Amino acid sequence: MAIYRNDDGADPNGYEEDYRRVVDRADAARMLPGSTIEIIRDPGRKGPPRHVLFDFDGTLSLIREGWPEVMVPLMVETLLATGTSESPDELRRVCNDFVTHLTGKQTIYQMIRLAEEVKKRGGAPEAPSVYKQQYLDRLSVRIAGRREGLLSGRIDAREMLVPYSLELLDDLQGRGVALYVASGTDEPFVVEEVAMLGLDRYFGPRVYGAKEDFRAFSKAQVIERILRDNRLDGESLLAFGDGYVEIRNVKEAGGTAIGVASDEAGRSGRPDPWKRDRLIGAGADVIVPDYRDFGPLLDYLWTANGE
Ligand SMILES: [Mg+2]
């Protein structure tokens, strides 16, 4: 049962919605003085945040950085095998477009689309779950060094985190809020990688990810459960995310959404322009490139929330 859906976006089968722009332009956007924090709209005077939800990949973790460079070539190969007359370059563009458009949803949705594209070209598609497994197998090769490095201690967790994640989480924990992770990545991987990065001390068991039946999980369901279990209304909810799904879901629940336009490969402290625009379009209240200004950010959120 998903309550927090736009009427026009409701899907009786429990599918996640595609990206749809709900905010055209950031008219009143301003920078918080002397910081990297861009305020799109003030959250208004409500109680201070009490429950804080994080997306995982790109919002905290960089372990899976570069995944499109694995997914897109796999899709191009799969479509070439149909015998299509399109060139690899053309196919790369096609795949890049729909992968990008669907980014933020669970991986299976990109694979559902791949199966449709195979069919369109006269091929006999595999089940989307088969494509997803092929992708995960290749991705696991790409990120094996990172995971092994974290486990052995060769790589410091900070190198695999969006900058200043630990400082942000420490500060939040000190404010006594409950912290949650909700990720479109398969739950066993999320639980494992949360621990590898030493983040289990913040999130404990409150880590949620995709299930084998993709309709058994959505970020909207996690938000709904947090609110129901704690008898809260959405105003006390704060979320951090670099994808549109969590931003949309938390806005639909009445909470405050921080869009994290993280530069995953460069960790430059400058917002990724594509993410920034897409997050503003999804309704983000605030945009940050990472958490280097976590102090002013949380002070702003707590005072702007009328504490
Ligand atoms: Mg993400």
Residue ranges of the domains in the chain?
Answer: 7-62+161-304, 68-152
At what angle are helices 128-152 and 68-80 packed, to 10 degrees? 150
Model confidence at 2: pLDDT above 60: no
Strand blocks (E) in the chain: 30-31, 38-39, 51-54, 178-186, 207-210, 237-241, 256-260, 286-288
Closest Cα partner for 239 from 33, 103, 75, 43? 43
Task: Please report the pLDDT score of residue 11 as a whole number.
Answer: 53
C-alpha 242 to ligand 1 mean position (Å): 5
CB atoms within 10 A of CB 39: 18
Structure tokens of 8?
A: 């026009």
Distance 121 CA to ligand 1 centre (A): 31
State in Å: Cα 102 to ligand 1 middle: 12
Average pLDDT, the chain: 90
* pLDDT for the residue numbered 305: 52
DSSP 19: P
Q: How far, in Å, CA of 159 to CA of 290, rounded?
A: 13
pLDDT for 306? 43
Q: Burial letters for 195-219: b for 16+ Cβ neighbours within 10 Å, e otherwise?
A: ebbebeebbeebbbbbeeebeebbb
Average pLDDT for 11-20: 67
CA 186 / ligand 1 centre spacing (Å): 13
Token reading at 180:
């949650």
28 Cα: distance to centroid of ligand 1 (angstroms): 26
How remote is the CA of residue 213 from the centroid of ligand 1, in Å? 20
CA of 25 to the centre of ligand 1 (A): 22
Instruction: Dig out the tokens for 35 from the structure.
Output: 């910081």
Tell me, in angstroms, the distance from the centre of ligand 1 to residue 218's CA.
Answer: 14
Distance 289 CA to ligand 1 centre (A): 13
The alpha carbon of 31 and the centre of ligand 1 are apart by a number of angstroms equal to 24
What pairing do the DSSP bridges indicate for beta strands 256-260 and 286-288?
parallel
240, 54 contact by CB (below 8 A)? yes
CA of 123 to the centre of ligand 1 (A): 32
Q: What is the pLDDT of residues 48-71, one digit of tens each?
A: 899 999 999 999 999 999 999 999
Q: Which has more confidence, 45 or 32?
A: 32
Cα 164 to middle of ligand 1, angstroms: 17
pTM over 0.85: yes
Partners of 178 in beta bridges: 51
The span from the CA of 3 to the CA of 25, in Å, is 27
The superfamily (CATH) of domain 7-62+161-304 is HAD superfamily/HAD-like (3.40.50.1000)
